[in-house]
Homo-oligomer: A and B are copies of this chain.
Amino acid sequence: MSLNLNQLGVVKRNIVRADKAAVEKLSRFGVATIHEAMGRVGLMKPYMRPIYTGAKMCGTAVTILLQPGDNWMMHVAAEQLQPGDVAVAACTTDNFDGFFGDLLATSFQARGAMGLIIDAGVRDIDELEKMGFPVFSRAIHAKGTIKATLGSVNIPVVCAGALVNPGDVVIADADGVVVVPVAIAQQVADAAEARESFEGEKRAKFAAGVLGLDMYKMREPLEKAGLKYID
């Protein structure tokens, strides 16, 4: 059975997670580097921010589709989490309630989850920091939720502007959140590594005072484009 985006009332138990080696390799690189390695795609909107300084994570997505003001599916998702997973929660409409707090985090952590990405609000953020359970969210809000309406778990979701399929690799750090499709995880990890290998050399040149104008040979194209220097 194939699942549609945003289909309601379904939990998919068997998902294909990205290869562990690819995930481990991706975990060594930053979000900016990985999205460059993918061709500048895959980023969530910049309103997604870590709830505490230093929060970061890398893992395979277990996706959750929530209804506004209702966190029932969080409990359903807990059972589907495996060690190394990242919970990725979208909502059927814009909502800023606190769908997640320290109790659910204790449960998710006990299941081996690496963290939570949620296009909505969370609460108990001091406790979450003490637990070392990283969360990226669009809001911090004490507002509690009910358990009355079905969403889904492990269907494709659009979260903060990015499509996330279950099993995709999700990487989050201080620069934001990026999603790497499971099919290209290894290839992107390799490309990120290649990209990173050039950075050290460039950094040394910049530190020594070499200009990007010269390093990247930009003077000629700038002149062709018509740039004028005046005194």
Contacts and interface: CB of A to CB of B under 8 A. Distances in A.
Interface of A: 1, 3-14, 30-32, 35-36, 39-43, 45-46, 49, 53, 67-70, 72, 74-76, 78-79, 92-98, 101-104, 106-107, 109-111, 121, 123-126, 139-144, 146-150, 156, 158, 161-163, 173-176, 178, 181, 184, 199, 202-203, 206-213, 216, 218, 222, 225-231
B147 A102 contact: no
10 contacts: A13-B230, A13-B231, A35-B144, A72-B218, A75-B218, A95-B95, A125-B175, A147-B216, A147-B218, A150-B227
B41 A7 contact: yes
B206 A125 contact: no
Nearest to A141: B46
A36 B174 contact: no
Contacts of A102: 203
Nearest to A36: B144
Contact of A126 (B76, B174, B229): B174
Copies of this subunit: 6
Contact of A111 (B1, B97, B209): B209
A199 B103 contact: yes
Please provide the 7 A-B residue pairs with the shortest distance between their CB atoms, ordered closest to farther: A68-B69, A75-B212, A106-B206, A46-B141, A6-B41, A107-B206, A142-B175
A230 B106 contact: no
Contact of A43 (B143, B210, B229): B143
A175 B218 contact: no
